[in-house]
Structure 1
Amino acid sequence: MAGNSDPLTPRAKLAVTAGKAVAAASRAAGRGSGSVIGGRVALKLDPDLLARLAQNLDVILVSATNGKTTTTRLIAEALRAAGPVVSNALGANMPAGITSALAGSSDAKFGVIEVDEKYLAGVARDTDPKCIALLNLSRDQLDRAAETRMLAENWREGLAGTKAVVVANADDPLVVWAASSSPNVIWVAAGQMWKDDAWSCPSCGGVMQRPGDDWFCGECGFRRPTPSWALSGDHVLDPHGSAWPIHLQLPGRANKANATSSAAVAAVFGVPPQVALERMYQVQAVAGRYDVVQFMQRDLRLLLAKNPAGWLETFSLIDPPPTPVILSVNARSADGTDTSWLWDVDYTRLTGHPIFVIGDRKLDLAVRLEVANQHFQVCDNLDQAVQTAPPGRIEVIANYTAFQDLRRRVGN
């Protein structure tokens, strides 16, 4: 591979140019951002392109089942205090999308990259990251994602001996198991609301004991490490014991946890917590998530929830009853075609809300709500649901492709 001082090879330059041209054509044809198809073409022309583009950057990788897009955005904002940043802010988080994002900037100091859980080990190999943030692992896309224990094993093997500083959530046993093969780990107490994927020990299969916020395996002694950073109420506690206030425009406890991990990452690069957290306040919405939009003379707040852990966090954000709630679920390939995960979500938390159900798999969701004794109405589309909903702001919760459909419909 070329040395740090060398510009891109002629082949790499051709690959970047071709990728950008294909992406532009895709955008012009109205087929989305073009970042994935552009990246695929570029990597076909130069399979080493991702490594070449990353060689002059301080790369930070962010991976998790929930919160990686938001955390990537928060880290990027914080690190702008120390230099220009390039990031895959739109969430195209597999090698093609990542390659496209890095090809878009030549003067960046930092590359802050969200990575799909299944691709983390390979992207880490290609990009030689300085820092890797691991937030959580939970069940997701059951038809095509590996079982969570296998993903943790994949991370553990792929990151063994990495030179990167690993910033990892001490409250998630699967993440701790995965990160424990790395020599340089900073542990963050970011919390874990969804625990149903972490009752058996990832090390020996024994039953996990969970007294209070602690956890340990009674059989092999695998246990929660002592964190050096922690989320405490509305503050981040740093390794020196100082408490820094979190001021976010993004709602909910989960985003405070994301901000805590982001502050720990920023500190690796010399950005103090106060500066990092102040910069995070700039973030109002992330790829449409949390946006309040006007549609048919109503205020709609758009919330993304794509697996049981995400739905649980989202239910804690919504306004109290009788705020109307629209739920939209698809099962296209990007969502995972298996909807059995709906049975892992506690829909009794919506009791008292008027509920309206839309999306490709609205009938699957209707059966689940029926069993949970919820009052709901199945609607043909967003327009009908909004027309039928009682007055007031409407909370709209959707999984991945359903969320993209909603954004297109409301012009967001």
Structure 2
Amino acid sequence: MRSRLTVALGRTARTLARLRGGGSGGTAFPGLVMERTDPGFLARTLDRLPHGVVLVSGTNGKTTTTKMVVQLLRDQGLKVFTNRTGSNFVRGVLAALLTEVNAAGHLDADVAVLELDEAHAVHFVRSVRPRAALMLNVMRDQLDRFGEIDYTASLLRQAALATRDVVVVNADDPRLNGERFLGGLASRTAAFGVGPALRSVFLSDDDLRTEQADAGGAPGALADDAVESTAGADSPCPAPRVRLVALAGNEATIEVDGTEHRVAFAIPGIHNVLNACAALTLVLEVLGDRADLPRLLATLSEIRPAFGRGEVITLDGRPVQLSLVKNPAGFRMSLMSAPTAQADATSRTDTVDAGSAPSTTAAPAAGRGRPDELIMIAINDEYADGRDMSWLWDVDFTSLKRAGVAVVTGVRAWDMALRLRYDEVPVGVVEPDLEAGLDTLRARAAAEDRPMRVYTTYTAMLALRARLGRLTEVEEVMK
């Protein structure tokens, strides 16, 4: 009876929120109402699932990796509940439940796969102990909110301590692979990682501190052999069950339990290939002997980007790709994955494998003969973005010097334009208004018949998607 009343109250709150918002939105408010009026609803609902709850957290890659885990498990025959919009606070999970439960509060699912913000993961595990948890990485992000990076790691550790069966960690992240994080966990541990040839491509936050010492090379690269694995022989971190060992174009060589497999990925971005390794490790641990590895690898090859995370939208017959950027590491990987950077890199070599020197040329090669993308950078500083934009000065933008940036927009447009000037990147137009900035980009793309790419912070991405939704077909995602 309690759950029935909570569902009715939540749905009423959602209806009122949508009426007030003109028919859209309504995610946070009903979840907040449910959280305040019935704190036990979350646990009562999720604790009934036969395969429990799987938690995904970390600084970068949560939304895309969660989507991967969900698709992998569904293709293995499980019914999966998830907070698919990426609303990763507890109230977002509650609001997502509201759309899936029946009037009595019953959820027809085998397992829940939930993306959770680092701080809200701690709140969540006080109510629901996850069966499995995936900890992707710890990077500088929203330090005005979290304070400093070791505190972020401590939040993830609290979630790991509450996990019952298995915690999967990034073997190459020094804040996740050591005794300080893994010591005292009740669950077993598993790991994913990269091979030696790719260690200078996928850098930890500590590695990024020495990045500026490299005067040449592709954006974000370190000198050859400058980066070693941080998990030594005496580390409590197990050897990676899944390792990314080579990249060539859109194909990757992935080692699973000691055996190499070739996978051709549809999803853009070299960072997403590592996210795929993380997702695969988690799913193998959750499924155990029931895992169908060939089918899992086939599923990985077909996965498309989550909204705003490499998502490609067609506008006036031309592609516009949205790349979410929110910290130095994420912006660096997005720049490395763009054709403008790859075209320069592939003039040196097109393949990175276990026998070659480390290089950021691991990114898929840009198509020959295609017109260069027009680039727009949209920077906001709302609460969800992080108020402190000083992290932009830790990003190397020199890979944009040849192509330039057509439009800089958003609340912090002039700050971004100044940052680009210091790296001698040409800027066409500075327009703080997001809609006007998109219109300027659209007009130039039409005049020059060129594709578009937008690097955007979170709230700017939501605003731009809303604008694009009025201009062309865009997948509707309730936020």
Q: TM-score range by the shorter chain?
A: 0.7 to 0.9
| Distance change in 2, residues 1:109/1:216 (3 Å) | closer
Amino acid at match of 2:87: A
Cα displacement (A) at 1:157 = 4.0
- Larger deviation: 296-305 or 128-137? 296-305
> What does residue 203 of structure 1 align with?
none
- Larger deviation: 341-350 or 228-237? 228-237
* Residues 1:271 and 2:288 are matched in the alignment: no
| Match 1:232 to one of 245, 256, 263 | 245
Cα displacement (A) at 1:245 = 3.0
| Distance change in 2, residues 1:122/1:198 (3 Å) | farther
> What does residue 141 of structure 2 align with?
140
| Distance change in 2, residues 1:168/1:216 (3 Å) | closer
Per the alignment, in what secondary structure is the counterpart of residue 325 of structure 1?
Answer: strand
Amino acid at match of 1:338: D
Per the alignment, in what secondary structure is the counterpart of residue 176 of structure 2?
Answer: helix
Amino acid at match of 1:54: L
> What does residue 191 of structure 2 align with?
187
Return the alpha-carbon distance in structure 1 between the equivalents of residues 182 and 429 of structure 2.
44
Cα displacement (A) at 1:282 = 4.1
| Match 2:456 to one of 384, 393, 398 | 398
Return the alpha-carbon distance in structure 1 between the equivalents of residues 79 and 24 of structure 2.
26
* Residues 1:55 and 2:47 are matched in the alignment: yes
- Larger deviation: 245-254 or 162-171? 245-254
- Larger deviation: 376-385 or 306-315? 376-385
Amino acid at match of 1:388: R
> What does residue 97 of structure 1 align with?
92
| Distance change in 2, residues 1:174/1:14 (3 Å) | same
Amino acid at match of 2:48: N
Deviation string 1:345-375 (CA, Å, 9 cap, x unpaired) is 1111212113021111100101111111111
* Residues 1:334 and 2:384 are matched in the alignment: yes
* Residues 1:359 and 2:399 are matched in the alignment: no
Return the alpha-carbon distance in structure 2 between the equivalents of residues 87 and 94 of structure 1.
13
Return the alpha-carbon distance in structure 2 between the equivalents of residues 277 and 305 of structure 1.
28
Return the alpha-carbon distance in structure 2 between the equivalents of residues 20 and 176 of structure 1.
43
| Distance change in 2, residues 1:161/1:393 (3 Å) | closer
Amino acid at match of 2:401: T
Deviation string 1:260-307 (CA, Å, 9 cap, x unpaired) is 111111112132332222223443231243232233454211111111
Return the alpha-carbon distance in structure 2 between the equivalents of residues 212 and 333 of structure 1.
34
Amino acid at match of 2:443: Q
Cα displacement (A) at 1:225 = 4.7
Amino acid at match of 2:442: V
Aligned-CA RMSD value = 2.4
Cα displacement (A) at 1:216 = 5.7
> What does residue 7 of structure 2 align with?
16
Alignment check: 8 A CA contact 2:125 2:162 kept:
no
Amino acid at match of 2:379: V
> What does residue 466 of structure 2 align with?
408
Amino acid at match of 1:19: G
Deviation string 1:353-405 (CA, Å, 9 cap, x unpaired) is 13021111100101111111111123332101332354421111101011111
> What does residue 66 of structure 1 align with?
60
- Larger deviation: 258-267 or 32-41? 32-41
> What does residue 362 of structure 2 align with?
none
* Residues 1:214 and 2:229 are matched in the alignment: yes
Amino acid at match of 2:465: R
Deviation string 1:152-206 (CA, Å, 9 cap, x unpaired) is 1233244336423011110111122434442410011156724334689xxxxxx
- Larger deviation: 109-118 or 382-391? 382-391
Cα displacement (A) at 1:100 = 1.9
Return the alpha-carbon distance in structure 1 between the equivalents of residues 172 and 48 of structure 2.
34
Return the alpha-carbon distance in structure 2 between the equivalents of residues 41 and 48 of structure 1.
13
* Residues 1:85 and 2:80 are matched in the alignment: yes
| Distance change in 2, residues 1:410/1:162 (3 Å) | closer
| Distance change in 2, residues 1:217/1:189 (3 Å) | closer
| Distance change in 2, residues 1:216/1:279 (3 Å) | closer
> What does residue 5 of structure 1 align with?
none
**Matched residues, percent identical?**
31
Alignment check: 8 A CA contact 2:190 2:237 kept:
no
Amino acid at match of 2:444: T
| Distance change in 2, residues 1:35/1:230 (3 Å) | same
Using the size of structure 2 for normalisation, the TM-score is 0.76
Return the alpha-carbon distance in structure 1 between the equivalents of residues 207 and 284 of structure 2.
29
Return the alpha-carbon distance in structure 1 between the equivalents of residues 381 and 79 of structure 2.
38
Count residues with an aligned counterpart: 391
Return the alpha-carbon distance in structure 2 between the equivalents of residues 363 and 347 of structure 1.
16
- Larger deviation: 226-235 or 38-47? 226-235
Q: Is there any run of 5+ residues in structure 1 with no aligned partner, and where?
A: 1-9, 201-209
Per the alignment, in what secondary structure is the counterpart of residue 403 of structure 2?
Answer: coil
Return the alpha-carbon distance in structure 1 between the equivalents of residues 153 and 376 of structure 2.
34
| Match 1:76 to one of 61, 70, 75 | 70
Return the alpha-carbon distance in structure 2 between the equivalents of residues 34 and 300 of structure 1.
28
Which runs of structure 1 show a deviation greater than 4 angstroms over 4 or more consecutive aligned residues? 221-225
| Distance change in 2, residues 1:31/1:365 (3 Å) | farther
Amino acid at match of 1:266: V
Q: Is there any run of 5+ residues in structure 2 with no aligned partner, and where?
A: 101-106, 210-224, 247-251, 344-371, 432-436, 475-479
Return the alpha-carbon distance in structure 2 between the equivalents of residues 94 and 235 of structure 1.
35
Return the alpha-carbon distance in structure 2 between the equivalents of residues 141 and 163 of structure 1.
29
Using the size of structure 1 for normalisation, the TM-score is 0.88
Return the alpha-carbon distance in structure 2 between the equivalents of residues 181 and 67 of structure 1.
26
> What does residue 367 of structure 2 align with?
none
Alignment check: 8 A CA contact 1:247 1:277 kept:
no
| Distance change in 2, residues 1:224/1:347 (3 Å) | farther
